[in-house]
Amino acid sequence: MDDINFAVLGTGGIGRRTLEVSTHKDGLTPVAACDRHGVAVNHDGLDVAELLDATEGNIAGDGTGDTDSETRANDDRVTDGGTAVKQHGDGAGIVASTQGTPTETPIDDIIDESEDIDAVLLALPNLEHDFIPRIAERFADAEFEGVLIDVLKRSRVIGMLDEREATLTDAGITFVCGAGATPGLLTGAAALAAQSFVEVEEVEIWWGVGLKSGYEDNRGTVREDIAHLDGYDIETAREMDESEIEAVIEAHDGVLEFDDMEHADDVLLERAGICDGDDVTVGGVLDIRQDEKPTTTTVRVTGRTFDGERGTNTFQLDDATSMAANVNGPALGYLKAAVRRNRAGDYGVFGPAELMPGF
- The reply, when asked if residue 277 is annotated as ligand binding, is no
- Gap between the Cα atoms of 83 and 67, Å rounded: 10
Counting Cα atoms < 13 Å in the Cβ hemisphere of 71 gives 9
| Calpha distance 339→159 (Å, rounded) | 23
Q: Is 11 assigned a ligand-binding role in the annotation? A: yes
Helix/strand/coil for 123: coil
Nearest C-alpha neighbor of 326 from the set 221, 234, 215, 202: 221
- Asked if residue 220 belongs to a known ligand binding site, the reply is yes
124, with CB counted inside 10 A (0-12, 13-18, 19+), is buried
In contact, 106 and 75? CB cutoff 8 Å: no
Shortest CA distance to 321 belongs to which of 349, 299, 291? 291
Q: What is the DSSP string of 127-174?
A: -STTHHHHHHHHHHHTT--EEEEE----HHHHHHHHHTHHHHHHHTEE
Rg (CA), the chain: 19
Cβ(106)–Cβ(36) below 8 Å: yes
Does the annotation flag 221 for ligand binding? yes
- Cβ pair 33, 15 in contact under 8 A: yes
| Helix locations, the chain, DSSP H | 13-22, 48-55, 69-74, 106-112, 131-141, 155-163, 165-171, 185-193, 219-226, 234-239, 242-251, 265-271, 323-343
147 contacts 172 by C-beta, under 8 angstroms: no
Catalytic residues: 153, 224, 228
Instruction: State yes or no: 13 annotated in a binding site.
Output: yes
Contact status, residue 6 vs residue 15, Cβ threshold 8 Å: no
Cβ pair 48, 23 in contact under 8 A? yes
Binding residues for NAD(+): 10-14, 220-221
Binding residues: 10-14, 220-221
